[in-house]
């Protein structure tokens, strides 16, 4: 796509299509399952006057990691919790290792911090590229006419020309190679991928050699070129024909980011820690997180708890419940996590492509359009460039042969908190160690912030709220519902 010119420069040409089929009577539409995501999700929307009037998002799977962890060697948590998500295991490994570093009272070596950043950073690149091309793109372009790219909606609202569609399919295939190369980068320092061996309490287990760093750098060059020349341009290209999708799907506009990628030993992060509530910035206070379960399949007695006191007691037959996802709230309010949250809170300069296309300099200059279906894709693509730049910096800082690991005995009793970011949002691990074993382990994972159900106060989850007002002109082909869901990368 490098040589292609965007079809249109303006982002505001598209208009919301009026409702044509649903009229003013209510129609219920369910998408079950929602595909091209990680995990099991169902969505049900009520359509009135051609737009979504009400929405419910159902989390349909429970494994019970928190119970399974109890009684185990605390160090094993880093291996076990990675298996929560095969797309972002490095993020769970990082959160778990941070919680254990905290409990073991360990300070990493500088090389250990940098090696962890390189492992997590390489997988951020992998995850964002995988998400855009292999999970989301089929909402905007048609794949080849073979399974698994068919069947597809009869009227799937694809608005790009054949030339652009062909180029996008070519990029889809190229991106399969590129994301695989990102995994090679992860494996060079992390052992293998998915599920790395290399991230552990105390740092990373393999001291990088010059050869491994060179191999990493050689691969990174290919990946960065793809990000800058293909991924970012095509996201802005889609904003032409799909410009109306910059005006819908905003939701609450409340955001959380725990911050990720420590840039120094003091813990200052590349992507900042912060909250944004009702239009105001705030500092993170972990005590203000509460998890509600009125509409979740968990024991009512456990509602409203901070993760440090958290309990996970399933009750799959609970009346009125509709999801295995708890509803976390920050200071009593639903908040969105993910690239949009991090980029808004950090507010960095946009890529040159972004500045040219949008005519603005920084993330927040995008304004309200950032809070939209396509806005989330723009935030994700721009974040990919920011992380790529940082990977380059860490590569220059990594010292071959220098220690990355600090060992320490398991404490008899200790608590630890690990706050980081998965590609798809804010991630918290909490561990309570007693008699050198795990006594309690609580995880508030990324998608839980976005895909959660209604809370005890009657507030919808962020995705549910963002669905309200999304145009669904043709209930037989509810394309925009899937587009909205996938914009969060659940």
Partner 1 sequence: MKNNKKLPNEAQMKTGVSRRNFLKSLTGTAAGIGISQMFNPAFVSALTEELKKHPVIWIQGQACTGCSVSLLNTIDPSIADVLLKVISLEFLPTVMASEGKMAMENLYHIADKYQGKFSLAVEGAIPTAANGKYCTIGEYDHKELTMVDIMKDLGPKAGSVLAVGTCAAYGGIPSAQGNVTGAMGVMEFFKKYSIQTPVVNIPGCPPHPDWIVGSISHLLTKGIPELDSDGRPVIFFGENIHENCPRLEQFDNDNLSEKMSSPQGCRMDLGCKGPDTHADCFQRKWNNGMNWCVDNSVCIGCVEPGFPDLTSPFYEPA
Ranges within 98-157 binding partner 1 (CB under 8 A): 130, 134-135, 138, 143-144, 146-153
> Which residues neighbour 230 within 8 Å (Cβ) at sequence distance 6 or greater?
1, 2, 171, 174, 175
Pairwise CA distance, residues 377 & 35, whole Å? 18
Stretch that binds partner 1, among 15-23, 203-211, 265-273, 426-434 (CB under 8 A): 203-211
Q: Is 192 in the site for partner 1 (CB under 8 A)?
A: yes
* Complex with partner 1: residue 413 or 457, whichever CB lies closer: 413
Contact between 62 and partner 1 per CB under 8 A: yes
With binding defined as CB under 8 A, does residue 60 bind partner 1?
Answer: yes
Choose the binding region for partner 1 from 312-320, 327-335, 354-362, 445-453 (rule: CB under 8 A). 312-320
484: contact with partner 1 by CB under 8 A? no
Q: Considering Cα of 452, then 333, then 469, then 480, what sign does the dihedral take? A: negative
Please, what is the minimum distance in Å from the beta carbon of residue 404 to partner 1?
A: 6
Q: Is 87 in the site for partner 1 (CB under 8 A)?
A: yes
Stretch that binds partner 1, among 47-55, 174-182, 331-339, 464-472 (CB under 8 A): 174-182
Out of 18, 26, 28, 32, the only residue in the binding site for partner 1 (CB under 8 A) is: 32
The DSSP secondary structure of 227-286, one letter per residue, reads IIIIIHHHHHHHTTTTGGGGSS--TT--EEEEEEEE-STT--EEEEEEEEETTEEE---G
- As measured in angstroms, the least distance from the Cβ of 226 to partner 1 is 13
Candidate ranges 64-72, 421-429, 452-460, 467-475; the one touching partner 1 (CB under 8 A): 64-72
Longest dimension (CA), the chain: 68
Q: Which is it for strands 51-59 and 199-200: parallel, antiparallel or unpaired?
A: unpaired
- Residue 35 or 285: the one with the smaller Cβ distance to partner 1 is 35
Contacts with partner 1 in 397-426 (CB under 8 A)? Answer: 403-405, 407, 410
Would you count residue 207 as binding partner 1 (CB under 8 A)?
yes
Q: CB nearer to partner 1: give 37 or 385.
A: 37
**Total number of residues that touch partner 1 (CB under 8 A):** 97
Under 8 Å CB-to-CB from 277, ≥6 apart: which residues? Answer: 254, 255, 330, 331, 333, 335
User: How far is CA 100 from its chain centroid?
Assistant: 23
Under a CB-based contact definition with an 8 Å cutoff, are residues 122 and 374 in contact? no
334 or 482: CB nearest partner 1: 482
Q: Which helix (H) or strand (E) covers residue 349, if one does?
A: none
């Amino acid at each position: 796509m490098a040589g292609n010119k965007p079809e249109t420069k303006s982002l505001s040409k598209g208009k919301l299509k009026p409702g044509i089929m649903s009229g003013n009577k209510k129609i219920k539409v369910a998408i079950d399952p929602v595909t091209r995501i990680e995990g099991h999700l169902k969505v049900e929307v009520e359509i009135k006057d051609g737009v979504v009037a009400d929405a419910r998002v159902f989390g349909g799977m429970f494994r019970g990691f928190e119970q399974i962890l109890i009684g185990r060697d605390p160090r094993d948590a880093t291996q076990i919790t990675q298996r929560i998500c095969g797309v972002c295991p490095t993020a769970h490994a990082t959160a778990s290792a941070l919680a254990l570093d905290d409990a073991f009272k360990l300070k990493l070596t500088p090389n250990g911090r940098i090696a962890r950043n390189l492992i997590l950073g390489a997988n951020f690149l992998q995850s964002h590229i995988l998400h855009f091309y292999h999970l989301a793109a089929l909402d905007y372009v048609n794949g080849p006419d073979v399974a698994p790219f068919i069947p597809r909606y009869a009227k799937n609202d694809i608005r790009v020309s054949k030339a652009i569609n062909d180029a996008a399919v070519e990029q889809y295939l190229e991106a399969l190679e590129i994301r695989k190369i990102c995994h090679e980068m992860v494996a060079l320092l992390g052992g293998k991928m998915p599920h790395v061996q290399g991230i552990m309490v105390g740092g990373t287990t393999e001291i990088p050699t010059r050869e491994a760093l060179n191999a990493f750098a050689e691969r990174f060059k290919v990946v960065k070129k793809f990000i800058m020349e293909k991924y970012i341009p095509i996201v802005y290209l889609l904003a032409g024909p799909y410009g109306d999708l910059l005006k819908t799907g905003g939701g609450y506009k409340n955001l959380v980011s725990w911050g990720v990628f420590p840039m120094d030993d003091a813990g200052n992060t590349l992507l900042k820690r912060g909250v944004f509530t009702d239009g105001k910035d705030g500092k993170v206070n972990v005590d203000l997180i509460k998890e509600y379960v009125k509409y979740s399949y968990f024991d009512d007695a456990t509602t409203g708890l901070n993760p440090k006191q958290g309990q996970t007691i399933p009750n799959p037959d609970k009346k009125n419940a509709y999801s295995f996802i708890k509803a976390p709230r920050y200071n009593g309010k639903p908040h969105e996590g993910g690239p949009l949250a991090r980029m808004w809170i950090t507010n960095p300069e946009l890529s040159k492509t972004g500045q040219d296309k949008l005519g603005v300099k920084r993330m927040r200059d995008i304004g309200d359009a950032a809070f939209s279906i396509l806005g989330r894709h723009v935030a994700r693509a721009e974040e990919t460039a920011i992380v790529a730049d940082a990977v380059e910096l860490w590569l220059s800082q990594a010292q071959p042969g220098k220690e990355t690991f600090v060992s320490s005995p398991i404490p008899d009793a200790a608590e630890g908190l690990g706050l980081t970011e998965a590609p798809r949002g804010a991630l918290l691990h909490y561990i309570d160690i007693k008699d050198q074993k795990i006594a309690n382990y609580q995880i508030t994972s990324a998608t839980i912030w976005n895909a959660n159900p209604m809370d005890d106060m009657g507030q919808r989850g962020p995705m549910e709220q963002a669905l309200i007002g999304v145009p669904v002109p043709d209930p037989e082909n509810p394309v925009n519902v899937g587009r909205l869901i996938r914009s969060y990368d659940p």
